[in-house]
């Protein structure tokens, strides 16, 4: 039976483009009201107006930079002050840095850790109690196929996504007796603005996917009666990762390094 999103409110971070925008369109089509969060106010406003017109749902927008310390907590407070409650949280916002770690911009690395790791923890902690109380939604954290092995030239990104995967699986176990669905989704590389900003076209770990494919896969996974704690999007991504679990770790590292050109 499909998960019923009607009458619920879904908060999506990184919602202005790519995977976040696809989640917004698909969940609105399922009847969910939306809270869209991203840095680009104009893009958010355009997306919100399109969705209101097409789906007839309520859409609130918050132009916020979650790469700032404690931004998630402050965002949750603003949402509560505006009289909104969150049933489902999709932690989709993320960024990456590329190149050998010793040469990367320290400020960019700090922002990456804040957005991809600390920001996910901060916003999840702020909203999880009300989501558990609601019992009608889900916590969806976007990890990556990079979470399953070290990723040379994207060392911080891969390590951060490994954190997100482990963090989400632990919360899924802690909340297993509730009706909240908790899911970590690990897509392969997607053809979105992420890789444009990263400055590389090499997928590294995993096979290319579209944001539309990943959004559809995620929502179908939530429709399952027994939603797993974590999934890998795409069979071409899942098979090699499963095989790598039985390979010696030095071999996996060497193959990954070669794949990314490190």
User: Which residues have a catalytic role annotated?
Assistant: 157
* CA distance readout (Å), 255 to 143, 149, 237: 21, 10, 15
Enumerate residues 6+ apart whose C-beta is below 8 A from 261: 153, 202
**Look-up: residue for tokens 């098979």?**
239
CA distance 259 to 4: 41
Give the number of C-alpha atoms closer than 13 A to the C-alpha of residue 217, restricted to the C-beta side. 21
How does DSSP classify residue 66?
T
CA distance 89 to 244: 31
Count H helices and E strands in the chain, helices first: 10, 7
Residue 213: how many other CB atoms lie within 10 Å: 17
Contact 238, 217 (CB under 8 A): no
């Amino acid at each position: 039976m499909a998960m019923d999103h009607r009458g619920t409110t879904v908060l999506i971070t990184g919602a202005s483009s790519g995977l976040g925008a696809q989640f917004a369109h698909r969940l609105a089509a399922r009847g969910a009201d939306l809270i869209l969060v991203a840095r680009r106010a104009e893009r958010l406003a355009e997306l919100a107006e399109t969705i209101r017109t097409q789906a007839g749902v309520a859409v609130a927008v918050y132009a916020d930079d979650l790469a700032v310390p404690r931004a998630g907590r402050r965002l949750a407070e603003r949402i509560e002050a505006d009289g909104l409650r969150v049933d489902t949280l999709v932690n989709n916002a993320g960024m990456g840095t590329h190149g050998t770690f010793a040469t990367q911009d320290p400020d960019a690395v700090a922002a990456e850790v804040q957005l991809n790791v600390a920001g996910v923890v901060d916003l999840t902690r702020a909203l999880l109690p009300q989501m558990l109380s609601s019992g009608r939604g889900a916590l969806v954290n976007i990890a990556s196929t990079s979470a399953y092995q070290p990723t040379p030239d994207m060392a911080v990104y891969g390590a951060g996504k490994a954190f997100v995967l482990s963090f989400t699986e632990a919360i899924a176990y802690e909340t297993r007796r509730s009706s909240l669905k908790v899911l970590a989704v690990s897509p392969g590389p997607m053809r979105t603005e992420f890789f444009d900003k990263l400055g590389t076209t090499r997928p590294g770990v995993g096979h290319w996917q579209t944001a539309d494919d990943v959004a559809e896969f995620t929502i179908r996974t939530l429709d399952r009666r027994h939603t797993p704690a974590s999934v890998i999007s795409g069979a071409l991504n899942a098979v090699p990762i499963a095989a790598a679990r039985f390979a010696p770790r030095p071999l996996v590292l060497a193959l990954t390094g070669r794949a990314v050109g490190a």
